[in-house]
Structure 1
Amino acid sequence: MSITILVVDDNESIRFTLKEICQYAEWNVLEAGNGKDAVTLFEKMNPDLVLMDYHLPNGDGITTTKDIRKHNEHVPIIVLTVDERQEVADSFMKAGATDFALKPIKAPDLISRIRLNLKVSKLTEEHSSAFVDKGIKQDTLMSIKNHLLYQEEAITIDEIKESLPIAYQTVHRYLNYLEGKGEVEVVSQYGKKGRPKNRYRLI
């Protein structure tokens, strides 16, 4: 199963390092440089795990953790910070973080922590999975959502199919599923003749 990690840190070089580590472990990576973007990205993409910094613009890590918890009770949130104070760790755990580590963290240690948190999360969610809908696979859903995320304008099913190795009927079914969940907007484009052409974009 494809795993997606959301890296939240205002330091671009740290985000790059964390991204390299995650990609080495063959995980997909989403990036956010502040709390507000992190929550927006989380709502749209529903990643499998979050790596959270403490000091962030537009909402610090604790506030951002609380906001993410409003949308998902189970996703693992691993805090990475240089702040050694116990009260900071306690505040994060109270906000809903699942793990806490001091920077700089070595790549093997981080990978081990992520794997452990994912394993625990999977056990927790076995009976309350968000992907229980018949025929909906998380890998395919994330591929389509990830593709839509980076489009500046609404696009057609054909345009999605050209970029992803997914059949037209499958793309259509997943877009209908996402529309039903209120995550995708359908934009009808009317031409001079024939039926309107539907375009899709993430909300």
Structure 2
Amino acid sequence: MKVKSILSEGRQIQLATELVGLGARLQVLEASTTLSRERLIKLYKEVKGVSPPKGMLPYSEDWFMGWQPNMHASLFINIFKYITEYTSVRGIDATIKSYQLYLEHVEASNLQRILSFTRAWTLNRFIDSKVLTMTACVECKGHFIAHSLDIQSNHVCGLCHVPSRAGKTKQAALEAKAREQCAA
């Protein structure tokens, strides 16, 4: 007979609650805690007030190669690497701390949040499995996400070579229109 620790279970519930608060999907909760699926669903409903979303997790590493997703993913993974290199924080706790710092940076810089917690968690899995890697930009020397199998000797990042359509999103157009209306 297996003896359950109340403290251990409490920590798992606390971890799951924190993950739900950050927007983690049910599959991330299942992979990160030892709680049963039924308990996680109940906890999710209690925290969010709705059932967890259905469907598959994002699975394409190509999503991280787009200009804006790459900048945000690179920011997150650089924070993650710094935390794991210079502190004793590891695993899901390092992912949580890194994502919280990413959110603080996005808010302080008045940027749109591009990277969800689930995508950040998925990014770590892609890095761990060596599907994606970090490569240095030859111009600014910053480290950015790239496909592991790509030739990376002359990599120029999206900040040094901004695509011509960068920043021309629907959101940017709406914000520009709102600024024009306020000025008029």
Q: Above 0.5 in TM-score?
A: no
TM-score, structure 2 as length reference:
0.28
Structure with greater helix percent: 2
Structure with greater strand percent: 1
TM-score, structure 1 as length reference:
0.26
